[in-house]
Amino acid sequence: MFSKKPVPGQDTVSRSAGPGSAMATPTFSVLGADLAVKGDITASAELHIDGHVEGDITCAGLVQGEASAIHGAIRAQTARLAGTVRGGIEVGQLVIVKTARICGDVKYDVLTIEQGAHIDGRLSHGLEPATSDTTPDLAS
């Protein structure tokens, strides 16, 4: 009554979300205010960071909260910075809001700075496209 024999040819194993499902490819990840990370972060999705990060961040898009602190380099296609950053920044479309405190050189393609933002570093327009020629050869 309660036991059921498997039918030949029928798959009885339940499948988890595979690489093609929506669960496997989130559109953004959140690091909360109570989170502190030591180490580099690499993400293909957008990141929203409210906590503290000691390490380099590479992602498609970055949104930084006002109370957040990042001590490391930032590389992204787009970024909205509202907290403290100590390190180099390379972003295609960059928005620095009035609460931001930046200490480091900034490379950008499109830049918006709100009145009241603090930047201690050099601003450079124009990012070099990433190519295989600029990738270091580790074999030599």
Q: Tell whether 131 is covered by a domain.
A: no
Task: For residues 133 and 112, give the distance between their C-alpha atoms in angstroms, rounded to a whole number.
Answer: 31
pLDDT score recorded for residue 12: 45
Total-model pTM: 0.73
Q: Tell whether 76 is covered by a domain.
A: yes
Condensed to tens digits (0 to 9), the pLDDT of residues 5-60 reads 555 555 444 444 444 444 555 588 999 999 999 999 999 989 999 999 999 999 99
pLDDT score recorded for residue 133: 44
Work out how many domains the chain is built from and give that number: 1
Task: For residues 28 and 62, give the distance between their C-alpha atoms in angstroms, rounded to a whole number.
Answer: 9
Range(s) of the domain holding residue 69: 29-125
Average pLDDT over residues 73-77: 98
Mean pLDDT, rounded, of the chain: 83
**What does the DSSP 8-state code read for residue 24?**
G
Q: Tell whether 139 is covered by a domain.
A: no
Q: Tell whether 18 is covered by a domain.
A: no
Cα within 13 Å of Cα(63), Cβ side: 10
CB atoms < 10 A from the CB of 77, how many?
14
Q: Tell whether 105 is covered by a domain.
A: yes
pLDDT score recorded for residue 27: 80
Q: Tell whether 34 is covered by a domain.
A: yes
Q: Tell whether 60 is covered by a domain.
A: yes
Residue 118: is its pLDDT beyond 90? yes
